[in-house]
Amino acid sequence: GSLTAHPRRCSLNCGAYILIHETTTIVLLGEGRLCKWGPLFLDKFGEPDLGMRRGQTMLLNERRQQLLEELLACAGFLGDSQSLNE
């Protein structure tokens, strides 16, 4: 579909998508593989609110965003299994 078409055309067949209502990030790795990476948005205490059940205001965690950008830029998801658990 369209979520996989863009990364195939524009990157190393790898793309990241934020599932807003789940507050989690999905990284498509190509060839039908994906990684559920975790939240980029945390509450004021640094805790995720998966599924937004607590109704807390969520803030972009810049450290996690930078790490995600670095992993995508160097294709770190493709070879570093530890990065999949960050």
Is the per-residue pLDDT at 34 higher than 50? yes
Mean pLDDT of 5-15: 74
Average pLDDT of the residues in 74-84: 58
For residues 60 and 82, the model is more confident at 60
Q: What pTM, to 2 d.p., does this model score?
A: 0.71
What does the buried/exposed string (b/e) look like for 16-27 if buried means 16 or more CB atoms within 10 Å of the residue's CB?
beeeeeebbbbb
